[in-house]
Every structure is written in structure tokens, then in C-alpha cells.
Structure 1
Amino acid sequence: MPPTSQPLRKLGFLTIGLFEEEDPRRGHESTLELIELGEQLGFDSAWVRHRHLQYGISSPVAVLAAASQRTSRIDLGTAVIPLGWENPLRLAEDLATVDILSGGRLNPGVSVGPPMHYDRVREALYPDTGDIEDFGYDRVRRLLDFVRGGPASDFDGTEGFEVFSRRVQPQAAGLGRRLWYGGGSLRSARWAGEHGMNLLTSSVVKSERSGTPEPGTSQEPEDFAEVQLSHIRTFRAHHPEGERARVSQGLVVIPTDSATPQQRARYQEYARRRLPRTAAPQGPARLMFAPDLVGGSAEIAERLHSHAAFREVDEVAFALPFTFERADYVQILTDLATRLGPALGWSPAA
């Protein structure tokens, strides 16, 4: 087996936290139980997705506040909060509060861009300012400034019996270094590096080519791993910490070592249905998708060791599939921690 450039240092997992409309508490409890299980298995981090107006976690910061009181060691992250739905000042307050409650374990991941289906939610979300809202990188910069102690007001001091601060309170020491950008393009990777963030790169990236080759020319198909590798190297080339800048990779990985025959068949069918989208860039944004990795841990480790982008990272947050059952997630997490992680050079936390 060809070695990676370095052993895997941090192993995490990512869940969407689905729930049934008629019983949302059960779904949220199940998510919290998975995070507790992750800590027991020695995972370094647990991450939750963000879903608005769907049957998934709409308030990951609130869910992680609950998780912070049911765990003691595991890092807790968001992958990612779309800032188009957020006020950066208010979000900075919430993040700092949960980081304090967790004892400094929060790892917020964010992204930019208009909210999904913006034309359909604009009147509810921004009824007075919808046409002038800026959904670009400046929204991240504002969040960074507030979290890192920049002024949010031009007044501090005492007014009557109340004391005011110019900065977001509480101030959470170290949180500014634990902010992640969920980027899938060279432009985003460079911006995140220039602003000293960490980089979350997932199973989705943007093609860096135009859609149509010049007449009379041909192009080799783009390779997902090579595109992702270019993003990682661009990020580090523009980051103050260079090669030491943190990058976490988030492929969909499903080990089957202890799975039942029925589970294996279901997992393979899940990956088979999703495979066609990996053949070429999809949609106007020309998104490229990585194939899901399904199989025994030895086989998956071999495939990861040959993945150009994986060889550049020493931490991962493998994504759990969206629609599986609790027993499936328990089996997958257990195999990740006891089989695949060690095969990649990782050791569980005490």
C-alpha cells in the first residue's frame, strides 16, 4: 500500500441530522446520541450540516450547544452554516456563547452565496433589504472581525446600571483560529487562506474549466482529486501558516467490515445510484462530485492512499449518508473508528 505523506491525525464525521416532521425531537435526540457515541469511540470531531426549511438541522449552533453539555472532549463543528441566512453580529454572539459552554471545542464552518431558492424565501428572510443584501465574502469578513474582537459599536462604558462593551460578548479565546471556510473553488480557497481561516473541502468541488472546449481541440476529463488538490495547495500558498494551515477533507466513506449482508447491499445500491453524477460536471455551476467509497476498510484505505488530495491532509470529517437508519450509522461509525481509522495511521483519543 503506498503511504500517505503523513498518518491521519484527526478523524471526524459529519451528519445531516434528519428527523420526521411528526416527531422532530426523536431525530434531534438521535443526532445527539451519535455525537455521544463518536466521543466514546475516540473520534476527534463531530460535525453537523445546516438545512433550512427541510427536515434536517436548521439550527446547528443550538444542537451543538446541547451536544456540548453531553460530551466533554470531542470537537463540535458546523459544515457549513450558509451566511446568507445569518446576521454576522448575532451569529458571532451565538458562536462565542456555545464555545464558552463547550470549553473551547467549537469549530464553526461557514460559506457564502445567496440562500438556496432565494426568490422563494426573500420576502420572509429580508422583506425590506432583499435587493441590496451582499452575500459575498464581506459577510465572512464581518463575522471574522466580530469573533476576533473587532468593534461592533462605538460606545462602551456605563449607562445607568448597565455596562456596555464595544466588542461582542462573551469573547471566546481561540475561537477566531477555529473558524473554517467551506470552499469548493480556487477563488474560495485563496480567500480563506488570505484571511487566515481553516479550509473544509468536501465531496463537491467546482470545475475550474469553462464548459466548452475550443473548436478543434479536445480535453482530458478533469480528475476530482487533482482539482481538490489544486484548491488545497492554493489555500496553503496564501495562508500565513503555509503548509501548516489546517485542511479537513469530507468524502462520503462507508466501511462495511461489520455490516450485515443486507446493509452491504443497501450501501452499494446507495452509491450506485449516485455514481452517474460523478462522470462529468453537473449544472450551471459545473459541480464535480467524488464517488462514494464503499467497501472493507482495507480496500477504502487503499483508495484513499491513492487519492491525490487525501495525501495532502492529516484530518478528515467523513460524511455519513443522508438516508440511512440509526443502526447503520452505529455500524459505520464503529468501523470508521476501529477499522478504517487505524488502517490510515490514526489512533483514537483517550
Structure 2
Amino acid sequence: MKKRIGFLSFGHYQPARGSRTTTAQEALLQSIELAVAAEEIGIDGAYVRVHHFAPQFAGPFPLLAAMAARTRRIELGTGIIDMRYENPLSMAEQAAAADLISSGRLQLGISRGSQEPALRGYESFGFIPPEGSTDADMARSHTELFRTAIAGQPVTMSDPKTSGVSRGLAIEPQSPGLADRIWWGSATRATAVWTAQQGMNLMSSTLLSEDTGIPFDELQAEQIHVYRQTWKDVGHTHEPRISVSRSVLPITTDEDRLYFGGRTEDTQDQVGVLNGLRSRFGKTYVGEPDRIAEQLAADAAVRSADTVLLTVPNQLGVDYNARLLQTVANYIAPALGWEPNLAYAP
């Protein structure tokens, strides 16, 4: 199994001391430059997180299109888009356009979303769950219509007064193949089963909203196992893709040590309660590159996934994060069976 390595940026910006992304413009433009630098290093993917009502990335498609226009090979993705906030047909049009600009390199992670600072913020966007349903139900309903639209299926009818006939109309533009590059962000084994049943790729992060007492990587590996088994049982004809996210902070310079040398409290799994559910949070891998390489190579979920997304401290700027990715490429990722992807797509 080919191992892919990508970076995941949350796009934080604020006028804080030491921040190199004090404004939204800086965060956006630097993300484009980091995607260019990552491609030159041979990194496989450039992914962005999506949050609303917070000083970080929100609507991702202008950024993804700009990244696509400046690169030729690297995958471009999200991890994840909160479908409670999305108009499915408008999103389908924007996603198809960005995918066409990228020549088919989009990998869209979508889901119900995570904790947001706004109270039912999706209602401010005009989306209210129908009576008797939840916001999670609404996210899945939006997803169903979005996937129907990008698959080229009719989503409305033509007006006989203008066309002379009544026929089904699909959204435009269409980008063939995009429907196979949709990932669902899953935080439980049950959701992983549903994701496989739906025929979507699996995206699992550093948070699982369940805890059975076993280490995070083993619990996540169980999630991946039930996903793959369900995929096989359902009878899908193509191989799915699976990603996991990890926080990796190699220390090779005094600057690294200044920023992250004291992060010992994050180097173990954390267990807490989120939305009333006992949840398990993955640890941060921080230290010497060879030690991180050894730990990641022993990580059960990293071994099981084909794609590993590494969260980057984007507020430290392009140069810092490009050096971090170069360290990963030189000393950490090869231990996972990864090889740099330097061949340009036709």
C-alpha cells in the first residue's frame, strides 16, 4: 500500500505576539505558498481545516482554487467541511469548478462538523433541521444532495415555458471523478460503518468521541478495520482511501525547542467529555525526528491508513513550516514506507 503524507492547516490568524499570520489575508496567501513549497519537497497533499465564526479558514473553495492554480501535482483537500452550514447545490458548483482548475486533484473531507464557537451557527446561515430531526441528520441530508449533484444526476426540472420541454437538469459545471474523492470525517466505529455503506472514503482525526480504555491508535485502528470489513461486505468495486491525522513537531533547532520543547503534557492520550460523550484525544509526537519516526512506525492506525495528515503550526509562517515538512520528508516519513512524490501529473 502506497503511503501518502499531507499537511493539514487550520489557518489560524490573530495579531498575537510572535504570530506571522496576523490577518486573514496573511493566513490565506501563506497557505498557497506552503502548498507550493510542499509540492517541491514531494509531499502528497495540502489540506485545510474549515471552521465558522472563528479567526481561521472558513469557505475553502477560493483558497483551494488558488492553490490549484499555483501547483501541478499535489492533492488539495479539506479536513473537514461542516455540512450543516452548506447549501449542497452551491457547494457542488464551487467544488466542481475548483476540481476542474486542479485537473482532478481535489480530495474533499466533509462531515457533521466539530465544536463551533457559535450557538447553532448553522441557523444563522439559513439552515434549520426539520422538526423531528437533528443537526447531524441535516448534515447527512445535505451530503446526500451534494453527492447526487456532483455525480451529474438531475436535481431540478427545466421550465417548459423557456425550453419547450420538461426534463431533469443537473448542476454545471461537472467534474468527472470528483464523486469518488469524497471523504467522511468519522469519530466513532459506528460512523465508520455508515461511511463504508455510503461508499465514501474515511477521514479520521486526532479525536474519537468514544473510549474503550485502549490506546488511541488501537481504537482508531479498530475503526479502520470495521470500515474496511463493511466496505468489503457491501461489495464496492474500488479500493477506498483512509486518512488519519497526527500532530508531529520534530525538534532540530533552538527555535523548535523554544516553541515546543516543553510540550510534554501532550505526549500521552487524553480522555475527556465532549458533548456529553467520553472521548479520547490522540497525543502529540514531539522530539527528535528519529524518535518520532520510531513512534509513528509503531502507531497501529498510521500503519493501517494510506494517508497521514500532519497538522502544522501555520502561525509560524511559510519558512518554518516548509522546514518542518522537509524534516518530515527526510527523517520521519521514510520510516512509514513513504517516498517523495516528485513526478508531475500530465
Q: TM-score if structure 2 supplies the norm length?
A: 0.85
Q: Does 1:264 align with 2:264?
A: no
Matching of residues 174-213 of structure 1 within 5 Å: 174-209=177-212
Over the residues paired in the alignment, what is the CA RMSD in angstroms? 2.7
Q: Output the amino acid matched with 1:9.
A: K
Matching of residues 138-149 of structure 1 within 5 Å: 138-149=141-152
Matching of residues 324-343 of structure 1 within 5 Å: 324-343=316-335
Q: Structure 1 residues 320 and 154, CA, compared in 2 at 3 Å: closer, same or farther?
A: same
Q: Output the amino acid matched with 1:169.
A: E
- CA contact under 8 A between 2:250 and 2:256: conserved in structure 1? no
- CA contact under 8 A between 2:53 and 2:116: conserved in structure 1? no
Unaligned runs of 5+ in 2: 16-21
Q: CA deviation at 1:281?
A: 3.2
Q: CA deviation at 1:100?
A: 0.8
- CA contact under 8 A between 2:81 and 2:113: conserved in structure 1? no
Matching of residues 217-296 of structure 1 within 5 Å: 221-239=213-231, 240-241=235-236, 244-256=239-251, 259-269=252-262, 271-275=263-267, 278-283=269-274, 284-296=276-288
Q: CA deviation at 1:287?
A: 2.1
Q: Does 1:77 align with 2:86?
A: no
Q: CA deviation at 1:248?
A: 1.0
Aligned residue pairs total 327
Q: Output the amino acid matched with 2:327.
A: D
User: Which residue does 1:314 correspond to in 2?
Assistant: 306
Q: CA deviation at 1:156?
A: 7.4
User: Which residue does 1:216 correspond to in 2?
Assistant: none
- CA contact under 8 A between 2:8 and 2:310: conserved in structure 1? yes
Give percent identity, aligned residues only: 28
Question: How many Å separate the matches in 2 of 1:70 and 1:158?
Answer: 44
Q: Deviations over 1:274-313 (max 9, x none)?
A: 457x342333232211110112332112112221212212
Q: TM-score if structure 1 supplies the norm length?
A: 0.84
Unaligned runs of 5+ in 1: 1-5, 210-220
* 3-state DSSP of counterpart to 1:199: strand
- CA contact under 8 A between 1:178 and 1:198: conserved in structure 2? yes
